Chains A and B, each alone.
Chain A
Amino acid sequence: MKKLLFTKIVFVFALLFASLTSAQTITGNVSDKNGPLPGANVLVKGTTNGTQTDFDGNYFIDAGSNKTLVFSYIGYKSLSVSINGQTVIDVSLEEDANKLDEVIVTGYGTQVKKDLTGAVTVVDTDELLSVPATTFAQQLQGRAAGVSVVNDARPGGEATVRIRGFGTLGNNDPLYIIDGVPSQQQSNLNPNDIESLQILKDASAASIYGSRAANGVIIITTKKGKLGKPSITYNTFYGTQTAAKGAEALNATELGSYLYLADLYAGKTPSHGQYTFGPTGQVTIPDYVFPSRGSEGDAGVNPDLYSLREGNIYAITRSADTNWWNEVTQTAPIISHNIAASGATDMANYAFSLGYFSQESIMKFFSYDRISLRANTEFKALNKKLSIGENFTASFDNRKGVLDNDSEQSALSGSYKHHPLLPIYDIAGNYAGSRGANLGNNFNPYATMERNKDDRTYGLRLLGNVFADYEIIPNLNIRTSAGIDTRVSRTRDLGRPQPEYVEGNFINSSSARETYDYQWTWTNTLTYSKSLNEVHNFKAYLGTESIQLYQESFGAGRQRFAFETSNILSFLDLGDATTASNYGGVNRDYTLWSQFGQFNYNYDGKYLAQVTLRNDASSRFQLASRSAVFPAASLGWRVSDEKFMKNVSWIDNLKVRYGWGKTGNQEIGDYNAYTTYQSNIVTGGYPIDGSAGTPTIGFATQSFGNPKAKWETTTSNNFGIDLVMLDNKASVTLDVFSQVTSDMLINVPVTYTAGQANEPAFNVGQMTNKGFDLALSYGDTKGDFSYDIGGNISVYKNNVDTLEGESTRIFGQSRRIPALSITEAGSPIASFYGFQNLGIFQTQAEADAWAPYGDYNAPGKFKVADINNDGVINDDDRTIIGTPHPDFTYGINLNMSYKDFALNVFGNGSQGNDVFNYVRYFADFNTFQGNRSTRALFDAWQPTNPQSAPSTWVAANPNASTPIMDANDAVSSRPSTYLIEDGSFFRIKNIQLTYNVPSAILNMFGLANAQVYVQGQNLVTFTKYSGLNPEVQLGNTGDSNRNLTLGYDGGGQPVAKTFNVGLNITLK
């Protein structure tokens, strides 16, 4: 009815002004090769007069007969048609491989891709979904130039995302904007719900997010209903995962040989609490390891003596030859189901999805489940001037069991450290421990996993926004959006006793922890766009935003439950109330208030300019420095639209861009300005009255304050070229950047004489990142065969320019060895630090001739470089011995299709980075009792004449890489180049063969579309790295200083080799 009225009015107008304007109504149909295109845009060129096609692809528009109509649709090449008096114009749009007309969300507004002037990467969501993963961030690995992603391979693990290197010593996590709602969290989003993902890499693009944008911004838009009839889809896959690589541990006999030789070469008479050694080192394995070196028939192994209770521990245990890696790993399933329904009319759109994802770990007794629900709707009213809508997701996830990365006592570490003479169970079927002599102090790795199998971490996340948008006058819109990101996490940790463990006990326990947080965001924008004389195109917006974030946690625990079944141990009420403990406090508390604006201008699409300004005021800074302004400007020139380029037929699109801008970083903790105290017994209590049971509570400093902290600022310059050529077959995007971060905020190491408390952030120093991002693609179609190949490469060079104030050298984490990383001016952040080994001494003469290193120098020992040439080796000879930063990271993607088949191959890699292999500390050296790596025995330097005095030793294997086995050696394991390895790798992440079910079959089942596929993940990794996985996590995510120790492998779950079969269908 309305349409009819509209048509009538148009008709009347047309009659009245026909002679003046030659206006006329034009009708037609827009389609693509598959049929009508509902929702395609039809615009009179140079005006804001436009419409959209209806369900059947039809449109009406009035326009002067001398005008031009522009037809566009996301993902298709725009088409311009001169009216020239026609009244019916039907067009067919072609899909656009380069998507130049794609609308990109670039902040609080949108831009057409071809008009972009900043460094923005758009990632194809189909590509993302080809990698089954918990989070989109894991899927992002290798997909975008300038973005480095390091995965945590555990089910439910998150990924560490770095955009263009390390901008600061402090927090380097990018900001995520999900349907306009900011978040620092990746977790819990269903990747299937993502419609598009944009990465704002340089300041000219990102500075609209001001103080939170220094590490780049990832903008995620979730799926909305599209005009047309409802679409119902179902996607599923099932896969099995196996460990891609195992631990290189010795077996029981080999370990015996190692121990014999280590004693022998140390000048000791070889002896061991379990093994018996023959005169030339023949290894005899005992029948029993508890009692130590027990033999069948001994009085001590009489099963009647067996006891495992408090006050009498005599757990008789037979010897074994256990391959712990095989015992703790498994073939594990991975499953995903996803049902989605969506659609739209011209007055409303809706999208709904339900997802289920479940993954077991390749380590036993650990898994992750997630159920997520999403509903996105939008309604229009008041003649389409008003639209209101919402985007919401609720997701619930559950981590079952415990699997720690980088933990000495995890099952993973146990798989290479736990003694192979030990079985899983003792003679009574209880878990076997290492109480016998010389068996080390590892947890039984299998028992560790099994006992934690009932631990749970439940997470509930609600994320979304409601918005209203009103068109005040044509092209002037006011919009308000209220967003919320709220999470509740509940952990229950059941402590099952491990009486068999040498340091164990009989006390069970249970603890519960609950955290909730909310962040609300209220954003208001006013947007206006205008075109003048068909060539001057303006677009601008102004806005305000306020954000509040708050997080609190609470926990409690009890011990001594009557039974250890999970339904008893899970509930604190059932424990002994006299053992109760609890805690609670505030974790996060911060507010941000901002005003911002952006102005875009282009001249005929050829000359592009953008200016951005944002003012942020943060509760984290004191009044004097609370606000800061972040400006940015960028220019673009579409060279290919110039007249002189018309003859260059092989170039379809050429744009050069330059952008400059400032962004900030305010991740310094919420109360940085204040010195505060805490009063807990551990840090402040003392039994001043002599009580043996109740300490008096005292106060201790909790945090030092620095009221003078001001904003950290990153100033970036970016020069980019976008080139599309060879009839749209090839494209190149190159961005060259330089980013200087000044007034770098870091929680500085405070001088020890000031005491110890949480260190406040100070503005210290400056850091520079320079580099380039390059993305290339080429594709073509030959008959039924089509292919495309794409690649990207990311290069950054990081340098700490200055560090001033409190400290000029900042050490990273120390473990059982001193700090292994150093950050100092003139070197990249977190460079590896230690001794430089020049090889292994082959003879006593060589050792004697070298600068003395205490009494360490001897045949078979490391020849340590005398860095300062002072003639002795000591701690001054430590130096930078490696870099965790790659020369470049890259991804390569290949798609081929022939008729109904499609093949995708995707790989990614990193080149030139070093890894600090801390696993070797335990596995290769004379450290804790327990197992050793194959290197420690087979690659070790050995003499041909071991029975002679060491001074006369002759090398049996002069090319050995590992030092001599020596039971008295505590020096070789110091941080040195031995622990540094080349971490370069290239991994074929995905090989997928897809069959598109032909329409004849589809019709039989009432399907519009169906695909089945088989897929192999992580099938091959090319690397020289000896550890389980060259792709190493950055330390703990909660630690603000985790960037000070990079590329450190403390033992993490390796990636799984996965075989999947999948099915995607769309109902008719």
Chain B
Amino acid sequence: MKKITSITLLMFSFIAVLIACSDDFLNRQPLGQFSEQDVASEEGVQSLLIGAYNMVPGGGLTGQTWHNDIHNWVFNIASDDALKGTDAGDQPEQSFIESYDFQSFNVHIRDKWRGLYKGVMATNNVIKTLEKVEKISEANKKQIIAEARFLRGLFHFEAKKMWRMPTYVGDDVFELNDLESTKVPNDRDIWPLIEADFLAAASVLPATQSEVGRPTSWAAKAFLAKAKMYQGWDANGTANTSKLAEAKTILDDIINNGPFSLTAKFEDNFKVSTRNNSESIFEVQYAISSASGDVSNRGIGLAHPYIDPWGCCGFYQASQNLVNAFKTENGLPMLDTFNNSNVPSAVDPTTKLSVYNGTLDPRIDHSVGRPGILYKGFKIYQTDFVRDLTYAGPFYSMKHVAEPEAFGQGGWGNLSANNYRIMRLDMIYLWLAEAEVELGNLERARQLVNTIRERATNTNDYVKKALQGAERNSFTVLDEPAANYNIALYTDSWSDPTVARKAVRFEARLEFALEGHRYFDLTRWGIASEVLTKYIASEGQLRTYLKGRNFTKGKHEFFPIPIEAIDRSSLNGQATLKQDPAY
């Protein structure tokens, strides 16, 4: 009996020991991850801020790496500049965007929303976590908040371009551990909040930054001006001159007092080797190493020609309409008649060089791949660059493609460190020109446009003619222009605001072709419906899948709010987000 007792005692002492240590045994703190405490230091918050910058290029989401790309090529295919490209079945969600079939369940629209608000969250988290940091100077604190607010403004700005009524989430509501805290209704105009962020950033940020990726006060001012330019016209295209006057003040300040100058060559805005140049006001930075993933310009990786050395994937082709826009008459754009005849894609059967002899703006061959013309120094462009010639035609986008010297430094040849120049001086000039037109200063507008055109006349910047070698990739460059380039300044004074307006806007189209701005420019000018309706009619002759598509005024200027965003915004059984009434 004694033995039984002792064994039983032994067993219960085992149990007692286990219970005693069970709190320790059961307390598992996360291993292999950083905790909230770890990041609540100055270094930690600086790293959180870097994490917020990471969202600027638009990657950084699980599940996809390109729908939210900052180049906005994914949505610019709804403009008259670009086609989806590739083949009919590739990414139907892209086809739906291209053909104005905007559904709230489109995952590309959804992921834009996801990515932007993930960026917003990261900036708010910087500001809130900073509150917990004790050992930090006031100056550093202000700098961090200013940069975070700049980024928060930028993300919300992107959202405001996409949706008629996006929501705004600030650090006043944000709580990291209360996932419902960010369920803010989309029931207010968020422009004032976006402007407030840029204004606050501009007042704190320095005029120069030792690290070139960080925004300066000039960058903040430029985005503030851009925000005002986006409020410059109503849905019918009527100018809001007071907003434009506000913009003008800032734009003048940047031109007159900023440290920026146009680069000698237009092309320098689209090459890796000339990143962060004198024209740059703010660039989205990319780096390419064997492990750099989403900050290596992956988001536009699909938009590379369907031929070696890229191979993938053939998205983002140029429209015939855009190519035609580069035609010139006496060196000037054909504002009304440019699309009456097509710039052909045909090549001479023997030389394989372009047979077109009409005059062209030289910027065309820095913007669009055309048969018979050397493509960014890689090889002579032919229709084997495109995936399905009969589907999306013979032309291809080019500006984002890294030059050959910078090719192939990462695992995938389509990755590059070719920064996206999201804010640069030529934009400032042309926005100012837009404002001056509406404010009645037509000659000032002409002068600004001419500044831009002047740069394009640099013959050193012309694409050179190249002759096809024996192998597909070999070629010889001649010391003569690749095409019949002819560009001139507007020498006659401008007196008709309608013509001036048209000329300024046309210049923006040529200068920023295929950089992801065109669709949003059309919508902010309030002319998307008239321009795109014409475009569908003409381009649909060539791209039969566009036949019969419709751009509905008052609806398709903006995208529907993703249904999942609405579903997930539910608070006490009620969705806090409301769908755009147009959808």
Contacts and interface: CB of A to CB of B under 8 A. Distances in A.
A811 B113 CA distance: 17
Nearest to A969: B88
Contacts of B179: 704, 750-751, 754, 806
Given A503-B311, A544-B18, A752 B25 contact: no
B114 A752 contact: yes
Contact of B182 (A618, A678, A681, A754): A754
Contacts of A968: 88, 544-545, 547
Contact of A312 (B101, B184, B473): B473
Contact of A756 (B61, B96, B292, B549): B61
Given A751-B568, A752-B117, A559 B292 contact: no
B360 interface: no
Nearest to B121: A755
Interface string A692-734: 1111111111111101000000000000000000000000000
Interface size class of B (residues with CB under 8 A): 35 or more
Contacts of A526: 8, 11
Contacts of A687: 213, 285-287, 295, 417
Contact of A472 (B7, B57, B389, B570): B7
A755 B411 contact: no
B27 interface: yes
A3 to B, nearest CB: 25
A755 B121 CA distance: 5
B54 A684 contact: yes
A418 B290 CA distance: 31
A478 B14 CA distance: 13
A690 B101 contact: no
Interface in B14-37: 14-15, 18, 22, 25-36
Given A589-B28, A749-B564, A818 B3 contact: no
B210 to A, nearest CB: 8
Contacts of B568: 749-752, 806-807
B517 to A, nearest CB: 23
A646 interface: no
B438 interface: no
Contacts of A750: 179, 568
A680 B125 CA distance: 18
Contacts of A488: none
Given A682-B59, A751-B180, A928 B89 contact: yes
Contacts of B51: 677, 683-684, 686, 698-700
Contacts of A971: 101
B120 interface: yes
A804 interface: yes
Interface in B296-336: 306, 308-313
Contacts of A619: 25-28
A626 B310 CA distance: 54
Interface in A473-488: 473, 476, 478
A266 interface: yes
A752 B276 contact: no
Interface string B114-154: 10011011100100000000000000000000000000000
Contacts of A314: 471-472
A548 B309 CA distance: 51
Interface stretch (B104-112, B450-458, B520-528): B104-112
Contacts of A756: 61-62, 114, 118, 121
Contacts of A350: none
B44 to A, nearest CB: 7
Interface in A736-757: 749-756
Contacts of B312: 441, 502-503
B31 A524 contact: no
B96 A593 contact: no
A581 B291 contact: yes
A292 B389 CA distance: 12
B47 A684 contact: yes
B573 interface: yes
B53 A752 contact: no
B184 A753 contact: yes
B121 A677 contact: no
A585 B14 contact: no
Interface stretch (A225-233, A323-331, A668-676, A911-919): A668-676
Contact of A875 (B105, B169, B544): B105
Contacts of B288: 692-693
Q: How large is the interface on A (under 10, 10 to 19, 20 to 34, 35 or more residues)?
A: 35 or more
B75 to A, nearest CB: 17
B264 interface: no
B117 A755 contact: yes
Contacts of B114: 752, 756
Nearest to B115: A756
B123 to A, nearest CB: 10
A744 to B, nearest CB: 17
Contacts of B48: 677, 698-699
A685 B473 CA distance: 36
A591 B28 contact: yes
B1 to A, nearest CB: 8
Interface string B515-535: 000000000000000000000
A8 interface: no
A438 to B, nearest CB: 6
A677 B34 contact: yes
Contacts of A925: 89
A784 B211 CA distance: 93
A691 interface: yes
Interface string B254-290: 0000000000000000001001100000000111111
B311 A501 contact: yes
A2 interface: no
Interface stretch (A234-242, A267-275, A367-375, A530-538): A267-275
A263 B391 CA distance: 10
A927 B570 contact: no
Given A617-B26, A675-B177, A818-B105, A688 B50 contact: yes
Contact of B550 (A440, A819, A855, A967): A855
A778 interface: no
A874 interface: yes
A868 interface: no
Contact of A814 (B88, B107, B295): B107
A816 B91 contact: yes
B34 A676 contact: yes
B483 interface: no
Contacts of B177: 675, 704-705, 707
Contact of A267 (B36, B101, B544): B544
A677 B295 contact: no
B373 interface: no
Interface string A754-775: 1110000000000000000000
A671 B28 contact: yes
A973 interface: yes
B569 A753 contact: yes
Contact of B471 (A312, A504, A806, A807): A312
Contacts of B122: 700-701, 755
A693 B287 contact: yes
A307 interface: yes
Given A478-B7, A676-B35, A692-B275, A686 B62 contact: no
A763 to B, nearest CB: 14
B206 interface: no
Given A619-B27, A682-B60, A752-B118, A703 B96 contact: no
Closest CB pairs A-B (n = 8): A698-B50, A927-B89, A755-B121, A682-B293, A676-B33, A687-B287, A503-B311, A968-B545
24 contacts: A437-B389, A438-B87, A502-B306, A585-B32, A593-B22, A684-B47, A685-B293, A687-B286, A690-B276, A690-B285, A693-B289, A699-B50, A702-B33, A703-B30, A704-B179, A750-B179, A751-B180, A752-B564, A753-B182, A756-B118, A804-B573, A807-B570, A814-B107, A875-B105
Given A676-B34, A688-B214, A702-B34, 4 more contacts: A671-B28, A698-B49, A818-B107, A967-B545
